[in-house]
């Protein structure tokens, strides 16, 4: 029923990033980068430090404006570059930061309640009361990320790994269509990593998930398409075995 | 749900109880309704203290909870005072004009001219400026108490927050705002009697009761406003809205990525607290009797931040404790009733040295007791805070530090 889709994009594209470039003080952090992801796809983004992984996420979430290029979203091809961070988040893009950023002065419940999908306007929030459905949803998410018995605790008291989980839980509570996950496994134990992998693979069944990760073992377990970034543009794309066999990838990333 | 709210916030009940006991106690010790153990001027000081506690709550909402260090909220306080002062002065002058005219009939135009001459004679004018159009209309002026400061805050906040001015730059901007307003009002052309300000505000037109009774009525009105303000502020900060603004204080970028419009929330809180400040001002100045542009000097708003810091920001009773404690102690020191301290080579005159003491207290509280006076209540309750090894609770400039957070 919709027609205004660019040739080649197809209705299977949720996020279409094309030809974006951004430079900071003359340094080109992103250089003519293009990237597509479908509505139910798991994608790993790897690359050496300074390859532009975080800047890429900053651009998609509206934190950084690119100098050129376009970022289109969804079936109606909404131009994300015209929206601010809050609107992009409301449209359905959730982000988990590299360093766990939760509200340390607030309880796990408060953190999750705040993230829960609901009307975000100040007036609506002022009159908002947690209903039974909201409480049940928070408990469900907490159970999913293994924090069921931590709900009344201040999140500042949680361990590093638990904070990571809480942030993933907040991401789930937002019910985004696209999840941008920056180094989810950092600071986690082996068992926790496996749990994270399972969760991400499971989520990708009905969400688009982009994972930025350094840890090759972790990426291997995700068993998905991999995009290798280098100096702000895509160096290679394909299965992990395919990209690790690529000479240029070995040269810039794996060989060192 | 009401009982749930009170059960979760026992401080609200305690606060209302203490406020009621205080108000009743003062009433039955006053000249008007009791033996007169508390002088009328003391009643007025206490009533004014309650108004300052109310603006301290506003400051705590905007700074302690939302992390916006506004150093301009006394501008709104003063504007609220001016708005009610215009009515008080106009009506009282009209009474005087009509009385002096006696049996001689005057046209409304003549009455108006006579009022203009009476009020503006002191600055060499005789015409009532356009902003006095509604001065004789109490409902309109009461509306202006809320509307004028509210609109100023809305426009100022919209401009500042939209450009994402934060931290110390925003503080400087708010200082500039209150300074500009104060300088503008100092001019005779601004139509509010320049540096003379508005005076005689302690006389309420149409009320024949003396100051003994009036002071008690204003004490009650101030206590009522403070009680309602405290309840409203507690309701705001206890729910999800409170979560969001505390989130903005500690890490505003993160709140944005959750989909909340940080600018919208800041504007909401800034405007709301400006209105609370204005209401406090409208109750304060009839008790003070006089208002002039000096009240809006930048230093006044800085003092407000000091009160809240000394009381303990980020909790409402902390703000109230800080404002009450500092204002009452300062009235005591500056009232000249404290004996001088002879050191032999120098005599400490407390009227002059009090401010040094206040500054020292501020430094000491910041360094050694970041939770302020309200930390004493934690001590009493045996509340301990979790040890996070000194890590700040958020990356933003206004964010809480570990020492301030409570378990």
pLDDT tens digit string along B271-283?
999 999 999 999 9
Contacts of A26 (CB under 8 A, 6+ apart): none
pLDDT given at position A10: 44
Chain A touched by B103 (CB under 8 Å)? no
Q: Which residue ranges form the domains of chain A, and what is each CATH number? A: 15-254 (3.40.50.300)
Does the pLDDT of residue B364 top 90, yes or no? no
Does the pLDDT of residue A186 top 90, yes or no? no
Give the residue on A whose Cα is nearest the Cα of B262: A86
Closest in A63, A105, A126 to B236, CB measured: A126
Contacts of B257 in chain A (CB under 8 A): 61, 85, 89, 94-95
Mean pLDDT of chain B: 89
Chain A touched by B216 (CB under 8 Å)? no
Identify the sign of the CA torsion B382, B388, B390, B391: negative
pLDDT given at position A255: 56
Does the pLDDT of residue B69 top 90, yes or no? yes
Mean pLDDT of chain A: 87
Contacts of A105 in chain B (CB under 8 A): 246, 250, 393-394, 400, 405
Q: What are phi and psi of A60, to 5 degrees?
A: -65, -35
Chain B nearest CA to A215, separation (Å): 25
Range in A91-95, B11-15, B375-379 the model is least confident about: B375-379
Closest CA to A157 of B8, B374, B405: B405
Find the helix or strand (DSSP H, E) in which A24 lies.
strand A15-24
Cross-chain residue pair A120–B236, CB shorter than 8 Å: no
Residue B2: pLDDT band with limits 50, 70, 90: very low
Instruction: Please spell the DSSP secondary structure of A155-194, one letter per residue.
Output: GGGS-HHHHHHHHHHHHHHT--SEEEEE-TTTT--HHHHH
Find the helix or strand (DSSP H, E) in which A121 lies.
none
Does the pLDDT of residue A177 top 80, yes or no? yes
Q: Say what angle helices B73-101 and B262-288 make with each other, to 10 degrees.
A: 40
Cross-chain residue pair B243–A106, CB shorter than 8 Å: yes
Closest in A121, A126, A174 to B258, CB measured: A174
Per-residue pLDDT tens over the stretch B76-94: 999 999 999 999 999 999 9
Residue B64: pLDDT band with limits 50, 70, 90: very high
Per-residue pLDDT tens over the stretch A201-218: 988 998 999 999 877 888
Average pLDDT over residues B137-148: 95
Does the pLDDT of residue A256 top 60, yes or no? no
Closest in B1, B258, B405 to A105, CB measured: B405
Chain A nearest CA to B370, separation (Å): 15
pLDDT given at position B382: 63
Chain A nearest CA to B71, separation (Å): 24
Residues of A with CB under 8 A from a CB of B: 61, 63, 84-87, 89-90, 94-95, 97, 101, 103-106, 110, 113-115, 120-122, 125-126, 128-130, 154, 156-157, 170, 174
Alpha-carbon distance A174 to A177, whole Å? 9
Closest in B236, B253, B258 to A114, CB measured: B258
Does the pLDDT of residue B392 top 80, yes or no? no
Closest in B261, B394, B405 to A120, CB measured: B261
pLDDT given at position B273: 97
B116 token code pair: 């203009």
Indicate the domain borders of chain B: 14-297
Closest CA to B4 of A226, A225, A129, A208: A129
Cross-chain residue pair A110–B243, CB shorter than 8 Å: yes
Range in A61-65, A68-72, A193-197, B123-127 the model is least confident about: B123-127
Does the pLDDT of residue A5 top 50, yes or no? no
pLDDT given at position B391: 59
ipTM: 0.87
Range in A7-11, A246-250, B319-323, B367-371 the model is least confident about: A7-11
Contacts of A90 in chain B (CB under 8 A): 259
Identify the sign of the CA torsion B195, B142, B224, B235: negative
Residue A9: pLDDT band with limits 50, 70, 90: very low
């Amino acid at each position: 029923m919709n027609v205004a889709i660019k040739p080649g994009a197809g209705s299977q594209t949720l996020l279409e990033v094309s030809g974006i470039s951004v430079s900071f003080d003359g340094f080109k952090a992103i250089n003519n980068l293009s990237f597509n992801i479908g509505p139910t796809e798991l994608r790993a983004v790897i690359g050496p430090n300074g390859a532009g992984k975080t800047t890429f996420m900053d651009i998609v979430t509206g934190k950084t404006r690119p100098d050129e290029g376009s970022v289109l979203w969804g079936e109606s091809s909404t131009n994300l570059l015209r929206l601010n961070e809050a609107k992009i988040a409301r449209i359905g893009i959730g982000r988990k930061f590299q360093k766990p950023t939760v509200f340390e002065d607030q309880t796990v419940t408060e953190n999750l309640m705040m993230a829960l999908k609901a009307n975000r306007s100040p007036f609506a929030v002022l009159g908002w009361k947690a209903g039974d459905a909201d409480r049940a949803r928070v408990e469900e998410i907490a159970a999913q990320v293994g924090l069921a018995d931590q709900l009344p605790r201040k999140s500042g008291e949680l361990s590093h790994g638990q904070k990571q989980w809480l942030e993933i839980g907040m991401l789930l509570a937002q019910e985004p269509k696209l999840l941008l996950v920056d180094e989810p496994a950092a600071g986690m134990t082996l068992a926790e990593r496996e749990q994270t992998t399972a969760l991400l693979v499971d989520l990708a069944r009905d969400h688009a998930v982009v994972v930025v990760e350094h840890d090759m073992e972790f990426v291997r377990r995700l068993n998905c398409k991999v995009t290798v970034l280098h100096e702000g543009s895509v160096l290679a794309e394909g299965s992990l075995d395919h990209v690790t066999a690529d000479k240029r990838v070995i040269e810039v990333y794996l060989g060192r | 749900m009401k009982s749930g709210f009170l059960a979760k916030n026992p401080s609200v009940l305690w606060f209302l109880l203490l406020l009621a006991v205080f108000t009743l106690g003062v009433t039955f010790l006053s000249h008007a309704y009791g033996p007169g153990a508390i002088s009328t001027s003391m009643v007025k000081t206490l009533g004014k203290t309650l108004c300052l506690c109310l603006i301290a709550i506003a400051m705590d909402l905007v700074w302690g909870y939302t992390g916006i260090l506004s150093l301009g909220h006394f501008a709104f306080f003063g504007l609220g005072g001016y708005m009610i002062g215009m009515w008080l002065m106009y009506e009282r002058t009209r009474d005087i004009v009509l009385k002096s005219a006696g049996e001689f009939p005057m046209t409304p135009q003549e009455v108006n001219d006579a009022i203009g001459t009476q009020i503006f004679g002191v600055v060499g004018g005789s015409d009532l400026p356009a902003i006095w159009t509604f001065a004789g209309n109490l409902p309109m002026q009461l509306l202006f108490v809320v509307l004028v400061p509210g609109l100023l805050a809305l426009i100022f906040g919209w401009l500042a927050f939209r450009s994402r001015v934060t931290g110390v730059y925003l503080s400087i901007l708010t200082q500039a705002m209150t300074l500009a307003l104060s300088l503008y009002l100092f001019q005779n052309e601004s139509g509010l009697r320049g540096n003379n300000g508005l005076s005689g505000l302690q006389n309420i037109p149409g009320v024949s009761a003396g100051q003994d009774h009036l002071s008690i009525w204003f004490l009650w009105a101030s206590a009522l406003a403070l009680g309602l303000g405290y309840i409203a502020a507690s309701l705001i900060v206890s729910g999800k809205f409170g979560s969001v603004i505390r989130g903005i204080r500690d890490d505003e970028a993160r709140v944005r990525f959750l989909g909340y419009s940080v600018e919208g929330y800041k504007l909401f809180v800034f405007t709301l607290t400006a209105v609370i400040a204005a209401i406090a001002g409208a109750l304060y100045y009839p008790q003070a009797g006089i208002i002039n542009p000096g009240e809006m000097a930048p230093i006044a708003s800085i003092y407000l931040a000091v009160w809240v810091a000394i009381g303990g920001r980020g909790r409402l009773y902390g703000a109230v404790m800080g404002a009450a404690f500092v204002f009452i102690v300062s009235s005591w020191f500056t009232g000249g009733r404290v004996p001088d301290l002879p050191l032999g080579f120098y005599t400490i005159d407390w009227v002059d040295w009090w401010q040094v003491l206040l500054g020292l207290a501020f430094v000491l509280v910041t360094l050694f007791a970041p939770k302020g006076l309200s930390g004493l209540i934690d001590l009493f309750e045996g509340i301990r805070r979790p040890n996070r090894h000194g890590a700040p609770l958020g990356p933003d400039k206004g964010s809480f530090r570990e020492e301030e957070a409570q378990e």
